[in-house]
Structure 1
Amino acid sequence: MKDPILQSKPEEVETHSGVAREDRRDLAGYLSEALADTYLLYVKTQGFHWNVVGPLFYSLHKLTEEQYEDMAEAIDTLAERIRAIGFPAPSSFHQFKLVASVEEETGMPTAEQMIQQLVDGNEICSRKLRKAVSEADRVGDVKTADLLTERIGQHEENAWMLRALLA
């Protein structure tokens, strides 16, 4: 006999936060895209951290470690925000790849190509997050807007630090 306690599964839940269900659903979509992009950028950043070689090894190894550790925390925060506004968070590579704009890397690029891909990925995240912040502001979800605004700043800083290595 199956234990009924273990039969629980995540579903949409009704909330009374002052944001309409349809607006929360749309925000959950934006947050899911942010989660997917952040997760794929996290994986790419960590993979480059492991595989970078050359004269920039030490600085790029350290920088990418700081960046992927920050993204690991952001991933959790984004997924929990989706749950807090009442919707299940996507949780598979398949689901992420359906909505992400950041593309995975399956080869072994040069250090310069790695850096450029990480700059591009962070800029993709920043651009998409701006749209999500506008939507969160429009519907009065200040918590989501604040969370995403903070992420924009981090992605912009990441891109700036990486671009400086290419200068």
Structure 2
Amino acid sequence: MTRPIHALAAMLLLASTVLTPALAREAAPASTPAKAVAPSAAQILARMQVAQETTATQPAGSQGPSNKTEGVRQSSQTQVTSRQPLGAFPTNEVSRQPVIDLGAGEEGMKKDVAALQQTLTELQQLQLQTKQAHWNASGTLYYPLHLLLQEHYEGLSKYADTIAERLLAVGVSADGRANTIVKTSGVPEIPGGFLDDAQILVWFTNAYKRVGEEVHAAIKTTEDVDPTTSNLLQEVEHGIAKYQWQMRAQLQRTHTDPNTGWDLNDNKPVDLQGQQAPAQTPAKP
């Protein structure tokens, strides 16, 4: 690192005739008139060393990595409060304004809201998980999974928005709070840290399967009390089934390729639930 710095200093000395007057005045003593004098090599080198040391050296008393997040979190003393109580998780407040009557009665309305709210929660959970995996995907399939997960994230966002708006349309508030997702989602949390490609394929194959089955049950629950909601949920089920297929297809076994995923999984077959070896043709006698 020292040689390049000295070489650069020498070049700057050779180019002293084109240095600006301001730089020359900075180098000249304060007691003498300003002259077009080039800074010495030592002055230039000293400036460079200071800049490097300032960048590389941490301030005294800096906190370790384990305390940095806490320091940021406590950096503001602003208290965030509300006069309105938090309520339960989820909270679906019924509007007192005129709304279109579903004609399903109170029990039918409760079923409709519960189906919509739970679907919203699961879609939001999947949104968060797809973005987490999108950022941290690693391995041979990093780039295609990076792009596919972004596409899924955007699609799930649209579905979540549609379901939330349907809740408002039937006359209740939508609950998309983080604590509602944590407390009521049936989809487990995805692991933290870097995620290898085989791990992502297995996790989302199973997560989409679970949510798809939940949405299918919601369709059955609402088809009589609110056909419009049921139809919207069918669109969501169609999208989730597509996303699930796009994940499992990358580990789909065929008659010509067992496709166990060993090349993605440290030379070990990928453990994908429900995956069976293709039927073997009986040997001829």
- For Structure 1 versus Structure 2, the TM-score category normalised by the shorter chain is 0.7 to 0.9
Counterpart of 1:52 (choices 121, 134, 137) is 137
Unaligned runs of 5+ in 1: 1-6
Q: 1:124 aligns with which of 210, 229, 243?
A: 210
Other-structure match for 1:32: 117
Q: CA RMSD in A?
A: 1.9
Task: Give distance in 2, aligned partners of 1:81 and 1:19.
Answer: 16
1:43 aligns with 2:128: yes
Q: Name the residue aligned to 1:113.
A: 199
User: Deviation at 1:112?
Assistant: 1.0
Q: How many angstroms does 1:21 deviate by?
A: 3.0
Residue number in structure 2 paired with 1:3: none
Tell me, what secondary structure is at the counterpart of 1:90?
coil
Q: Decide which of 70, 76, 81 is 2:166's aligned counterpart.
A: 81
- Aligned twin of 2:53: none
Distance in 2, Cα, partners of 1:98 & 1:20: 28
Shift of 1:128: 0.5
What corresponds to 1:138 in structure 2?
A: 224
Q: What is the aligned partner in structure 1 of residue 180 from structure 2? A: 95
Match of 2:95 among 7, 10, 13: 13
How many residue pairs get aligned? The number is 159
Q: Percent of aligned pairs with the same residue?
A: 27
Q: Following TM superposition, by how much is the alpha carbon of 1:164 offset from its aligned partner in structure 2, in angstroms?
A: 1.3
Structure whose CA Rg is larger: 2
Contact between 1:130 and 1:149, CA under 8 Å: does it hold in 2? Answer: yes
Deviation at residue 90 of structure 1 after TM alignment: 1.1
Structure 2: which 5+ runs fail to align? 1-82, 84-91, 253-285
Amino acid across the alignment from 1:39:
Q
- Residue type matched to 1:160 in 2? W
